[in-house]
Amino acid sequence: MARNAEKAMTALARFRQAQLEEGKVKERRPFLASECNELPKAEKWRRQIIGEISKKVAQIQNAGLGEFRIRDLNDEINKLLREKGHWEVRIKELGGPDYARVGPKMLDHEGKEVPGNRGYKYFGAAKDLPGVRELFEKEPLPPPRKTRAELMKAIDAEYYGYRDEDDGVLEPLEQEHEKKVIGEAVEKWKVEKEARLAGGDKEEEEEEINIYAVDDESDEESSKEKEGEEGQQKFIAHVPVPSQQEIEEALVRRKKMELLQKYASETLMAQSEDAKRLLGL
Q: Can you give 93-162 as a three-state secondary structure string?
A: HCCCCCHHHHCCCHHHHCCEECCCCCCCEECHHHHHCCCCHHHHCCCCCCCCCCCHHHHHHCCCCCCCCC
Confidence (pLDDT) at 235: 58
Please tell me whether residue 230 adopts helix, strand or coil conformation.
coil
Confidence (pLDDT) at 108: 47
* Tens of pLDDT, residue by residue, the chain (281 residues): 456 666 666 777 777 777 776 655 567 888 888 888 888 888 888 888 888 888 888 888 888 888 889 889 988 988 888 888 888 888 888 888 887 777 665 554 455 655 545 677 888 888 888 887 777 777 778 888 888 888 888 888 888 877 777 777 888 888 899 999 999 999 999 998 888 888 766 555 555 555 555 555 555 555 554 544 445 555 566 677 788 898 999 999 888 888 877 777 677 777 778 887 887 76
Cβ 88 vs Cβ 42: under 8 Å: no
Cβ 16 vs Cβ 25: under 8 Å: yes
Give the Å distances, CA to CA, from 180 to 73, 107, 168, 193, 207: 83, 83, 20, 20, 27
Cβ 15 vs Cβ 39: under 8 Å: no
pTM: 0.41
Cβ contacts of 174 within 8 Å, gap of 6 or more: none
